[in-house]
Amino acid sequence: MYNGLIDRLERDCVLTFDEYLTLIEHRDECRDYLAQKAAAVRDRIYGKRVFIRGLIEFSNYCKNNCYYCGIRAENRNLQRYRLTVDEILNCADSGYSLGFRTFVLQGGEDTHYSDEDFCKVITTIKQKYPECAVTLSLGERSFESYKALKEAGADRYLLRHETCNKEHYEKLHPAAMSYANRMRCIDDLKSLGYQVGVGFMVGSPYQTNDDLANEMLFIKQVNPQMVGIGPFIPHRDTPFGDRTAGTAELTTFMLSLIRLTLPNVLLPATTALGTIDPMGREKGIMAGANVLMPNLSPADAKSKYMLYDGKICTGDEAAQCVECLKLRIEKTGCHIVTDRGDYINQR
Ligand code: 5AD
Ligand code: FES
């Protein structure tokens, strides 16, 4: 009985709030059909290709105190590290040799680095590897900073909005962080011409099914090129350390809804999904995802970039991760490709 709704979602690429909510509430009865449709839409637009992005987690210093995040400033039980500009560039070099053609610079909001530092990294990578895309994930910054980084050559920017509900946002973050500024950042990034990625956690504390239905309307309205979602996973040294984790089941369901709502979106099967379920990333791909973001940082950095407990792939060399992912993805009927994997605009 839900197949009709799903067929209409496939045709119109949008539903009403009530319709999204109905599907979410009755997901046990429609998840297989939804996943099958979502994978077919992904295949129609991108084929069976899964894009890989080389993630460089350059610093775990962060000035913020998100209640869910393991690298929050107030966590004193964490050894902090930051890579130098040269170390970041070395990561990109080794990533390039492994076949990566997109580099994602991700870190806590670390005020140690200036715009000039980041611009140097971007221009050097672009100069050396003009065929590569540079994606930034540096958190909230000023319009001027986003502009300087764009002019230095950055192509894409990931900034998860975390939740589209302002009251919910305020339960996940201390008063020093505002929903309004998060939205301002996303608007600025779009207006500067970045390919933009937003996203949210699934099963974060206080999240309701209504919130999840609203997330679909929110992403429809923002129309981003990328959407990153993963299950919330508690980290013991945070205020949410004893909260319940999100599930792979609900996360993959949301991945399918996102694929049908934004057919062309670049959609990662995240490390958090692979952490909560050993087959999570494969399930994500089978539910319509088409991006993987393995880590290129040096081993000691990786083991310290602990946003949540139990994070996978923190001991392996990047080369091992690539081989492991290749085998895993082949079992889903898809295959990894190493081109830039740009957003495809037409239907
Ligand atoms: N569980 C799952 N995801 C988390 N993130 C931060 N902390 C957690 C956690 N405990 C996600 C946030 C952030 C991204 C980099 O990682 O959504 O935007
Ligand atoms: Fe660093 Fe949330 S704790 S941005």
- Measured in Å, residue 22 CA sits from the centre of ligand 2 at 33
Please tell me the residue having the least CA distance from ligand 2 atom 2: 66
Give residue 211 CA to ligand 2 midpoint distance, Å: 22
User: What's the confidence (pLDDT) of residue 245?
Assistant: 98
284: CA distance to ligand 2 center in Å?
A: 25
> Quick one: DSSP state of residue 194?
-
Q: Could you tell me where the DSSP H helices lie in the chain?
A: 3-12, 17-25, 27-46, 85-97, 115-128, 143-151, 166-172, 179-191, 209-222, 248-261, 271-276, 280-286, 299-302, 318-330
| 160 C-beta closer than 6 A to ligand 1 | yes
Residue 116 alpha carbon to ligand 1 centre in Å = 27
Residue 173 is encoded by which pair of tokens? 């973050």
Torsion of CA 272, 9, 161, 225, to 10 degrees: 90
Confidence of residue 315 (pLDDT cuts 50, 70, 90): confident
The mean predicted confidence, pLDDT, of the chain is 97
Decide whether any atom of ligand 2 lies within 6 Å of the 172 Cβ: no
Number of neighbouring beta carbons within 10 Å of residue 184: 14
pLDDT digits (tens, 9 = 90+) for 170-196: 999 999 999 999 999 999 999 999 999
Query: Ligand 2 pocket, 66 CB below 6 A?
Result: yes
Q: How far is the CA of 32 from the centre of ligand 1 (A)?
A: 27
| pLDDT (tens digit per residue) in 59-108 | 999 999 999 999 999 999 999 999 999 999 999 999 999 999 999 999 99
Average pLDDT (210-222) is 98
The answer, yes or no, to whether any atom of ligand 2 lies below 6 A from the CB of 159, is no
Query: Residue 232 has which token pair?
Result: 């919330």
Q: What percent of the chain has pLDDT over 70?
A: 100
| pTM of the predicted structure, to 2 decimals | 0.98
Per-residue pLDDT, averaged over 226-241, amounts to 98
Number of Cβ within 10 Å of residue 221's Cβ equals: 10
Number of the ligand 2 atom closest to the C-alpha atom of 69: 3
The pLDDT assigned to 347 comes to: 63
pLDDT band at 231 (very low <50, low <70, confident <90, very high): very high
Query: Residue whose CA is closest, atom 3 of ligand 2?
Result: 72
